[in-house]
Amino acid sequence: MAVTGAVMVLFLVGHMLGNLKIFISRDSFNDYATALRTLLEPLAPYRTLLTIVEVVLAVSVVLHIWAAISLSRRAHAARPVKYAAKKSQAGGYATHIMRYGGVTIVLFLVWHLLDLTFGVVNPKGPVSTPADRMIAGFDPSRWWMTLIYLVAVVMVGLHLRHGIWSAFQTLGWANRNRYKALRTGAALVSAVLVIGFLAPPLAITFGVVK
């Protein structure tokens, strides 16, 4: 969970920084998308690095889900008889929605790839520039789409709030002197990612970016 999660967090940081290019211009955003595909050229063929990243991410997603399912199965096996009354003593909404939140994020991921990567469910269709798909996708008339992204991104943020410091604990790098910094750091990174990911869609829907 920790290692695959870390891979995905690093990806999210890059993804967010890339998205912000839309605030410069459509061309800047498109150029960035092209650059991702032409990186390493002429040393390696078109799309080499991007394909490697995609494979690593896909493997991470699968292993992360596999780990989550096996943890969940072990948990169910370890408590066959449920409590009649159970009260949580450790606060933390984020901690308790990791599994449902994870399912929500997977569902969103499928939609997100169909929408902005493959363009299948995007108004501009598959044959269009990335910037066109993004701006058309969050058009003010499609405010409900922005709402879906808002909920999904907040879910990702909550997932990371627990996930980031938890990864340090799992890998044995946490201790009592670091907990405060780790928890604050996790909350900070989550908040930055949520804001960074929501800025473009909100700006488009409210007509700031056209």
CB of 169 to another protein, least distance (A): 5
Name 169's Cβ contacts closer than 8 Å, sequence gap at least 6: 182
Counting other chains too, the contacts that 91-94 makes at CB distance below 8 Å and 24 or more residues apart are 92/162, 93/158, 94/158, 94/159, 94/161, 94/162
Q: Is the bond preceding 201 in cis, omega lying within 30 degrees of 0?
A: no
Stretch that binds another protein, among 5-13, 36-44, 95-103, 125-133 (CB under 8 A): 95-103
Binding mask 10-49 for another protein (x = CB under 8 A): ----------------------------------------
CB of 177 to another protein, least distance (A): 9
The binder of another protein chosen from 43, 90, 110, 127 (CB under 8 A): 90
Nearest to 205 by CA among 125, 147, 153, 165: 147
Among positions 68-87, residues that touch another protein (CB under 8 A) are 70-71, 74-75, 77-87
The binder of another protein chosen from 42, 89, 207, 210 (CB under 8 A): 89
Nearest to 134 by CA among 208, 210, 192: 210
Dihedral (CA of 195, 201, 206, 210) sign? positive
Binding mask 154-193 for another protein (x = CB under 8 A): --------x--xx-xxxxxxxxx--x--------------
Give residues in contact with another protein (CB under 8 A).
Answer: 70-71, 74-75, 77-90, 92, 95-96, 98, 162, 165-166, 168-176, 179
